[in-house]
């Protein structure tokens, strides 16, 4: 089974982008949303936004969480 087949449409996937990272663009976020239309895709630009998204993830735990690590260090 390929990676695409195992992810399907992203029904049990959450992806989280650091919206302030220089490599994260609205187009990059939209591309992932198009590739996995059923996934929960977050792009936080502030600590308050991140806390809100974290609360959503805790309430509705996905099977897989992907986090963008660009500009982390």
Q: What is the pLDDT of residues 7-41, one digit of tens each?
A: 788 888 999 899 888 888 999 999 999 999 999 99
Cα-Cα end-to-end distance for the chain: 34
Kindly report the pTM of this predicted structure. 0.74
Closest CA to 38 of 7, 5, 9: 9
Dihedrals phi, psi of 47, to nearest 5 degrees: -65, -40
Q: How many angstroms separate the CA atoms of 11 and 15, rounded?
A: 11
Average pLDDT for 1-5: 59
- C-alpha 58/C-alpha 66 separation (Å) is 15
In this predicted structure, the answer to whether residue 5 has a pLDDT above a threshold of 50 is yes
Per the prediction, the chain carries an average pLDDT of 85
């Amino acid at each position: 089974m390929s990676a695409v087949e195992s992810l399907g449409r992203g029904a049990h996937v959450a992806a989280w982008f650091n919206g302030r990272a220089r490599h994260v663009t609205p187009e990059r976020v939209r591309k992932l949303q198009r590739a996995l239309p059923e996934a929960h895709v977050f792009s936080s630009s502030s600590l308050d936004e991140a806390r809100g998204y974290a609360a959503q993830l805790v309430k509705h735990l996905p099977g897989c969480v992907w986090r963008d690590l660009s500009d982390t260090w």
